[in-house]
Structure 1
Amino acid sequence: MAETYVSGVAGRYATALFELARDAGVIDAVKADLERFGALIAESDDLKRLVRSPVFSSEEQERAVAALLAKVGIEGLSANFFKTVAANRRLFTVESIMRGFNELVAAHNGEVTADVTVAQPLSDAHAATLKQALDAMTGKDVKLVVEVDASLLGGLKVKLGSKLVDASLKTKLNSIRTAMKEVR
């Protein structure tokens, strides 16, 4: 398995949390706690402000986070992690940390994410066929993240890692338009 790296301050925190969770055998529990905390941030403007604002001291952030974690039942490694992040005045990076942690978990589980953009929603059969083709191509379990963009007109774009396959009608029409201009 190739090593996955996440960079920056958030990457260092995500890597440390992942390694601690892996060594303790609690990756799934920590992932669930991070998802719960992420959902709390998404639901609460006050929590967003607490997380993102430099106005609050580390002590205020730590107290607020500790009270919130106790209220929602997040404890153990995850709770200690969030408190440490708050104490170190890095709470503003928590969403990036969660993304990095999820990347590390996916790599650990042999999963790859493919960002698929389509002109119309994929049927279950088409999504399954695309997933099977990508699984066979990569030799890994590919998770599809599908986004609908009607401006593509037809076809699809698939981004898998650093590779992008653009088979959209919009791109093909633009290529023809460019070729027609060059002929003149």
Structure 2
Amino acid sequence: MYAASSREALDGARVELEAALRGVTTDDAVTTGEQLLSVAETVSDNRALRTALADSVTPPDTRAAIAREVLSGKVTEVTLQTVASAAARHWSSDADLADALLELGRESLLQAAKREGRLDTVEEELFRLGRVVKENTELEQALSDRTRSQADRAQLLSGLIDGKVDDVTKRLAVQAVTTSTEAPGDVIDELSGLAAAAGGRKVAYVTSAGELSGAERPSLAGKLSAIFDAPVTLHVEIDPELLGGVVVRVGDERIDGSIAGKLAALRRGMR
């Protein structure tokens, strides 16, 4: 989570980037996203550069000039302007700047997918990929093994999904899994939520004792949309141990309507 000043800085940088992307082609938006992800990795890995770009003691114009000097001739003008503008803003920590550039890169790629009507596909693919990774212990361990190089782990994941998912799905997943310190399945889940947010939706992770019927899915989605005041996409997993009912997670909110949950609450109340 960002502190207030970093959140304000990110929001300002995001507004500028969204305006800039409206003036470029979809391919250029993809290029911008990829370049921002690469810059974010570089900034995150280079402490001296990170400090130079985010040190509040240095005047904002000077920090922006440093960004331009480092990146000039290496990235597009939109990417250059985005990084320079971000560097000129006030960040609570230099790590927040690196994280913000990562977010902006991901959002650029998702906006490109949205333009071509592929955002729902990307969201669903990321969700399914997250499930595959979480359910395959050996795969998740291999992807999170820091004794293996980033290139090796990237090749492993790319080999599994290449040609089977949208290019944006692949780019986001490979970059996130190979650079994040989070569990691979969890970071892919976060990307799925980010894709939903890009489409103005929230993701409800539903664990059900059995398959939801064709009538139950829209009914549950409608109730959750009313509760959270936003369109909701359901991602459903089956867990017979719930005995009946469902458990729903939307962001930090958790709603336990399962029989197992009610029995557990009853047992706690009888102690």
TM-score, normalised via structure 2 length:
0.42
Deviation at 1:130, TM superposition (A): 0.7
| Residues 157 and 164 in structure 1, CA contact (< 8 A), matched pair in contact too | yes
Matching residue of 1:16: 104
Distance 2:172 2:234 in 1: 30
Distance 2:172 2:241 in 1: 43
Equivalent runs, 1:35-46 vs 2, <5 Å: none
Distance 1:176 1:62 in 2: 46
Deviation sequence 1:121-166 (CA, Å, 0-9, x none): 2111111211111122223221111122222222222222222221
Equivalent runs, 1:45-124 vs 2, <5 Å: 52-54=144-146, 91-93=178-180, 95=184, 98-124=188-214
Matching residue of 2:233: 143
Deviation at 1:110, TM superposition (A): 0.9
| Residues 172 and 191 in structure 2, CA contact (< 8 A), matched pair in contact too | no
| Residues 14 and 98 in structure 1, CA contact (< 8 A), matched pair in contact too | no
DSSP-derived class of the 2:257 partner: strand
Deviation sequence 1:153-182 (CA, Å, 0-9, x none): 22222222222221222232233333334x
| Residues 115 and 146 in structure 1, CA contact (< 8 A), matched pair in contact too | yes
Count the aligned residue pairs.
162
Higher relative contact order (CA 8 A, sep 6+): 1
Q: Percent identity?
A: 22
TM-score, normalised via structure 1 length:
0.56
Amino acid of the structure 2 residue aligned with 1:20:
S
The structure 1 residue matched to 2:243, chosen from 153, 165, 182, is 153
| Residues 118 and 152 in structure 1, CA contact (< 8 A), matched pair in contact too | yes
Structure 1 residues 105 and 82, CA gap change in structure 2 (3 angstroms): closer
Deviation at 1:14, TM superposition (A): 4.3
Amino acid of the structure 2 residue aligned with 1:21:
L
Gaps of 5+ in 2: 1-9, 12-94
C-alpha RMSD of the superposition = 4.9
| Residues 110 and 198 in structure 2, CA contact (< 8 A), matched pair in contact too | no
Distance 1:78 1:155 in 2: 32
Gaps of 5+ in 1: none
Distance 2:170 2:244 in 1: 46
Distance 2:270 2:187 in 1: 47
| Residues 13 and 97 in structure 1, CA contact (< 8 A), matched pair in contact too | no
Greater strand fraction, Structure 1 or Structure 2: 1
